[in-house]
Amino acid sequence: MTDTSPTHVAIIMDGNGRWAQMRNRPRLIGHHAGARRVKEIVRSCPELGVDYLTVFAFSTENWKRTQTEVAGLMRLFKRYIRREAQSLFDENVCVRFIGDRVRLEPTLVDLMDGLELMTAENTGTNLTIALNYGGRDEVTRAARRLANDVKMGKLDPRKICDETFPRYLDTHVLPDPDLVIRTSGEARISNFLLWQSAYSEYEFIDTLWPDFTPEVFAEVLERFGTRERRFGAVLV
């Protein structure tokens, strides 16, 4: 890819359930197909010039789905970590999770913590998985931590600015996304990276997530390279 490739790409992985239903299969079959696609996309990042990849795996609103689907997704997350941990380490991928872990099963949280620790020193692709994540929830938790620091005398409220607040977000160690992609034809951001994506480019595509191949990914990145990013300024 050229030097116009985005450094950080965030993806709302939508369409797993519809992909399965179109094939007269249970929705969870689509989620398993989607998990396999994540592996391929992560592997394609170095060649495509993407240093940071953030994927939206489970939102704070997804608890509203049926108990069967939620339970199946939680099993899938645990299975994915157990099966892919060694490969992610061997491929030099650094894995982080963002989101509120309080509601997650202790077994899953232990696996998440273990994978983060295992890959912490890796220097290749930075993979961030948003699990039980919501943009409003993240901002609320960040504001609570900031308010506590003010209360404890650790932070002067007069010095709070738009560079202070991001240090309290889940993504404080990550650059803001250059590009946000949503698959499956839906054209909304669904409470994803609300603060961080203020100046991100967006790409809404019809492809369902299990069909989002590295080739489709490359095409989207090529289109990104043709965009003129002004960040509120006027280029002359």
Domains of the chain: 8-224 (3.40.1180.10)
201 annotated to a ligand binding site: yes
Q: Which two tokens stand for residue 229?
A: 């990013």
29 annotated to a ligand binding site: no
Rounded distance, CA 77 to CA 132, Å?
11
Q: Is 14 a catalytic residue?
A: yes
203 annotated to a ligand binding site: no
195 annotated to a ligand binding site: no
The whole-model pTM stands at 0.94
| Active-site annotation holder among 24, 51, 62, 176 | 62
Question: What separation in angstroms does the CA of 127 have from each of 57, 68, 171, 182, 222?
Answer: 12, 28, 12, 17, 21
Q: Which residues contact 104 (CB under 8 A, 6 or more apart)?
A: 74, 112, 131, 132
- The helix/strand/coil state of 181 is strand
pLDDT at 234: 52
Burial of 15 (0-12, 13-18, 19+ CB in 10 A): buried
211 annotated to a ligand binding site: no
pLDDT at 50: 98
- Cα within 13 Å of Cα(181), Cβ side: 27
pLDDT at 1: 45
One-letter amino acid identity for 162? D
Q: Is 90 a catalytic residue?
A: no
Q: Phi and psi dihedrals of 69, rounded to 5?
A: -70, -40
59 annotated to a ligand binding site: yes
pLDDT at 2: 46
Burial of 98 (0-12, 13-18, 19+ CB in 10 A): buried
C-beta neighbour count of 35 within 10 angstroms: 21
Report residues of the chain scoring pLDDT below 70: 1-3, 229-236
Counting every residue written for the chain, the total comes to 236
pLDDT at 190: 97
Q: Which residues contact 189 (CB under 8 A, 6 or more apart)?
A: 12, 135, 180, 182, 197, 202
**Contact 124/91 with Cβ under 8 angstroms?**
yes
